Amino acid sequence: MKTRSPSLGKIVLTLGISFSLGGSIGLGSSAIAPQSALAYTDTTTIELYRLAGESFPILLRRAEIVARAAAQRSFDRDILITSVSIDVVGKNNGAIAPLLRLQVNRQTWQRQPDPQRWATYFPNTPFLLGIEQ
């Protein structure tokens, strides 16, 4: 009299349950090593118009607020984004110049979501935009 191995019975039962629930068992290379996720940098350019009579420090503060919101939105929107690069460009009476560039990775941003800490500022921008300080 032949007896079945208990482990073989469990395997057959498990396969039967998987197939009956619509599951499938892949025996290819993905079963051994899953495909790696594609991580990437999200790049955004934002144009910010100077309001009438607005000083440069106020315009720069608005640029920081906009950059912070854009960075957070990018990380919230897509879990595969590992870093963001956000350029905020100022516009004043037809002149265009960079206000700041925020470049930060997800882990750093989660620890300290402060645009002033991670932004690069451009010292000639007030001159290029024709804004007196």
Q: What is the pLDDT of residues 78-109, one digit of tens each?
A: 999 999 999 999 999 999 999 999 999 999 99
Whether residue 2 lies inside any domain: the answer is: no
Q: How many separate domains does the chain show?
A: 1
For residue 103, give the nearest of 124, 78, 91, 121 by alpha carbon: 121
> What's the pLDDT score for residue 37?
65
Contacts 24+ apart (CB under 8 A), 5-14: none
What are the φ and ψ backbone dihedral angles of 23, each rounded to 5 degrees?
Answer: -80, 170
Whether residue 25 lies inside any domain: the answer is: no
> What's the pLDDT score for residue 31?
53
Low-confidence ranges of the chain (pLDDT < 70): 1-37, 133
Whether residue 81 lies inside any domain: the answer is: yes
Provide the whole-model pTM.
0.71
Q: Is 111 exposed, middle or buried (0-12, 13-18, 19+ CB in 10 A)?
A: exposed
Whether residue 31 lies inside any domain: the answer is: no
> What's the pLDDT score for residue 7?
44
For residue 63, give the nearest of 29, 24, 95, 91 by alpha carbon: 91
Whether residue 6 lies inside any domain: the answer is: no
Whether residue 9 lies inside any domain: the answer is: no
Domain that holds residue 79: 40-129
